[in-house]
Amino acid sequence: MSLAKLKELIKKHNIRIVDFRFTDLPGLWQHFSVTTDEITPNLYSEGIGFDGSSIRGFKEIQESDMILLPDADSAFVDPFLEIPTLSVTADVLEPGLMPYPRSPRQIARNAETYLKSTGIADTAYFGPELEFFVFDDVRFGQDSSCGYYFIDSVEAIWNSGREEYPNLGYKPRHKEGYFPVPPHDTLQDIRSEMVLNLVDAGIQIEVHHHEVATAGQGEIDMRYAPLLRMADNVMVYKYMLKNTARKHGKVVTFMPKPIFADNASGMHVHQSLAKGGKNLFFSKTGYALTSKTCMWYIGGLLKHAPALMAFAAPTTNSYKRLVPGFEAPVNLAYSQRNRSAACRIPVYNENPKAKRVEFRPPDPSCNPYLAFSAMLMAGLDGIENRIDPGEPIDRNLYDLPESIAKKIKTVPGSLDESINALEKDHEFLLKGNVFTEDVIATWIKYKRTNEIDVMRQRPHPWEFHLYFDV
């Protein structure tokens, strides 16, 4: 979108404020706003300055000056703000408009550039399935004398006996939220409103539905898109869902495992490569109609999966979901149709354009720019080195004899293990300067210092149950 087109959009919708948005290193949207008078040719030739030392994972105070350069093609009218406001995603740059290597969006752009430079493909398509919870109340805290959290939902099974004047009873039982119609599903209209807000922002939506867990778990699936654009879409998706829920006095969380004893929220990621409009993952004669290129890509995902989890399942809470022995995608194997394998090859139809691999261990707490880029780089490493993924396992991996199960590798059991794996295995991410050693080191330090270590220092409520009487 040209500057002239942006001005036209401002005029058409009587826009008074333009809001620039960008993503910090952990993956949270940040923003600041200007009046429409500031939308001039100088803005696009010079950018607009901000303090990078106040952004997580960016700059030290002695090097804080940074630049935002808006990407006009990302513009949409914000449906939640009282003052007419245009939202525009921006690139983070160094002074002099130099690319900033720690900018998540720049890393995604680097990944797309590297893909084209290999000659293997010209487009990487990504289709994530983000799951989430819609709660009615959440409270949490911890200090020297207490540690607690409380969550609630009007449709949670634990409220089946609550006095609600009247309690109407229809509350999905644990693991039975997939797919009963209203009145069990109390969130149909809210999810539909979320969908329409996303559509108005230019994002194609395929389907929405209630998910397996009680207490308001849901899923809205976006139509696949190229890597960078899809990462942008994920950020818009989270914004739209959180603010639509807030409008109705509810709250959305993408925390992977907020509820004990019920399903967690994952983000299965569908991936494929194309060149000249042709899907490179399709073959009429291959296993599940996949090509050797697809097999090698899967080989790369499986080989580098422990390191990938540092970006794709990047929170300590992620590993409350990725627990062996439950129906979690922990098994590093591939199979057609099989949701118990880390890499699933969907076979809904034989359309060559639809052939893809679904990588199931990621969750929606990730920074999509980093996670998608890391997955692409792992897959490309598999193609470049012709990594054989082995034989498929077309059986329920959750119900294997112990003699077979113990031979199948699994994803790491904690964020600490994943970060250690990334520290040992990240050469594949450095190709084409997609990631840099500085980015990897910064990510590792941030996760260890701000998440792993601080969790280690705090007593867990269940430890009192286990150990108070020792």
List Cβ neighbours of 119 (8 Å cut-off, separation of 6 or more).
none
- Annotated active-site residue 219? The verdict is yes
Q: Which of 8, 38, 46, 51 is catalytic?
A: 51
Q: Which of 209, 229, 339, 448 is catalytic?
A: 339
Q: Which of 19, 112, 211, 381 is catalytic?
A: 211
- Annotated active-site residue 200? The verdict is no
* Nearest to 234, CA basis, from 362, 368, 134: 368
Q: Which of 19, 360, 426, 451 is catalytic?
A: 360
Q: Which of 131, 136, 185, 193 is catalytic?
A: 131
Helix axes 104-118, 227-247, angle to 10 degrees: 150
- Annotated active-site residue 437? The verdict is no
- Annotated active-site residue 191? The verdict is no
CA distance 204 to 196: 10
CA distance 196 to 191: 9
CA distance 405 to 399: 8
Q: Which of 19, 112, 129, 221 is catalytic?
A: 129
Does the CA dihedral 379-382-383-389 come out positive or negative? negative
In 3-state terms the chain splits into helix, strand, coil percentages (rounded to 5) of 40, 20, 40
DSSP string, 325-366: TSSSS-B--EEES-TTSSEEE--S---GGG--EEE-S--TTS
3-class state of residue 201 by DSSP: coil
- Annotated active-site residue 105? The verdict is no
CA distance 184 to 272: 36
Q: Which of 268, 270, 321, 344 is catalytic?
A: 268
Bridge-based pairing state of the strands 357-359 and 76-77:
unpaired
- Annotated active-site residue 339? The verdict is yes
- Annotated active-site residue 51? The verdict is yes
Q: Which of 358, 363, 381, 451 is catalytic?
A: 358
Burial of 390 (0-12, 13-18, 19+ CB in 10 A): middle
* Nearest to 127, CA basis, from 292, 344, 431, 316: 344
- Annotated active-site residue 131? The verdict is yes
Q: Which residues are catalytic?
A: 51, 129, 131, 211, 219, 268, 339, 358, 360
